[in-house]
Amino acid sequence: MKAMRFISAMLVVAFIALFAYANLRQLTITEKLKPVNLVSYSLTGNFDQHIRDNLERKINSVTGVTAFTINPEGTTASVIYHPGEVTEDALSVLLSEYISIQKKELASTGGCPVHQVSASFHQLITQLDLRTR
- CA–CA distance, 76 with 87 (Å, rounded to integer): 19
The count of structural domains within the chain is 1
Whether residue 130 is contained in a domain is answered as no
Whether residue 67 lies inside any domain: the answer is yes
pLDDT digit string, tens, across residues 11-45: 999 999 999 999 999 988 877 888 888 999 888 87
pLDDT at residue 4 is higher than 90: yes
Containing structural domain, residue 87: 37-104
Residues 58-106: tens digit of each pLDDT: 999 999 999 999 888 888 889 999 998 999 889 888 888 877 777 877 6
Asked if residue 8 belongs to a domain, the reply is: no
Which CATH number fits the domain that encloses residue 55? Answer: 3.30.70.100
Q: Is residue 42 within 8 Å of residue 74, measured between CB atoms?
A: no
> Cα–Cα–Cα angle for 71, 77, 80, nearest 5°?
115
In a domain, 26, yes or no: no
Q: Which amino acid is at 101?
A: I
pTM passes above 0.85: no
Domain assignment present for residue 28? The answer is no
- Residue 17 one-letter amino acid: A
As a whole number of angstroms, the distance between CA 37 and CA 84 comes to: 10
pLDDT digit string, tens, across residues 110-127: 556 666 777 788 888 888
